[in-house]
Structure 1
Amino acid sequence: MLTEINPPTDTRYFIVKSFNHDNVIHAQRDGIWATQEKNAEMFSEAFNTARDVILIFSVNKSGKFQGYARMESAPGTAEMPLWTKGLLWQSSGAFYIRWITICDVGFYHLAKLLNRMNEDQPVFIGRDGQEIDPETGAKLCSIVDEGRIQ
């Protein structure tokens, strides 16, 4: 629940994209994630400066968010998960996450929720590692917490 995390001023929010559902399922089970190397510095900086870093997961082309998790360690602090074997991209190094809410929320519920950190586009538009402004991130997590399964 969003009440488990601190107010938005102490929290940073990021979209995390996955190439497939299986990787997200493994992350939900194991509490470990690895992202693209280009996100490593940004995620490390966020982890070291913010009280909470929230990662909101979306599988590419799913039209949904699959839930959100809190970063529990910086990139490079966990053993690489098995699903990263044979990846075609360089990894940030694995890190621990703690899932707060696991729930599919269709993007059509979020059309009016705009991300000030991405030219006021709808919050679901963004690349892997796209930061979300704190107010919008908190609202998005609240919607996921409501359990709108689509």
Structure 2
Amino acid sequence: MNADALDPLDRLIAERACERLVVEFVRTLDLGEPGDVAELFTPDGVWEWAEGDRRIEGRDALRAYFGARPADRLSRRLCTNILVTLTSASSATASTYFTTYRVDGHAGGMLPPRLPVQVGHYEDTFRKADGRWLLAARATFLDFGGPTERLGPADFRREA
């Protein structure tokens, strides 16, 4: 079915499901079990970076990649300007701006503010399979990026 022929309520529900997937992705990375983001992708899902040769394909590879991030990493991602475009009743695309704050070596507690490590946007392709919207592909475009800071003992704020 052509996306233009969709009932307005069906269109809204599909767009919202894709938006939720974008938010679920970053929430799982930041507050959940990072390897679990693989379940948000189709079995043949792809994550790639526009520059360089990084490309991860398939749920098992995605699970291994995201599951290998350092256990002491503290990250928070902000996503805005999520624009979903339905291309059919079972496919959609989206662009999302993101900002990533991230440090390694976090042992708990609140830290003084840091500058973002990355600012860019995602270009996503979604596919509906078995009644569920999933990421089929995500491309990451970085406009600003730098190394992840590793904290030392003097970087932590201690409560008295």
Would the TM-score normalized by the shorter structure come out above 0.5? Answer: no
The structure with the largest strand share of the pair is 2
Taking structure 2 as the reference length, what is the TM-score of the superposition?
0.28
Structure of higher CA gyration radius: 2
Task: Indicate the structure whose relative CO is greater, using CA pairs within 8 Å and at least 6 residues apart.
Answer: 1
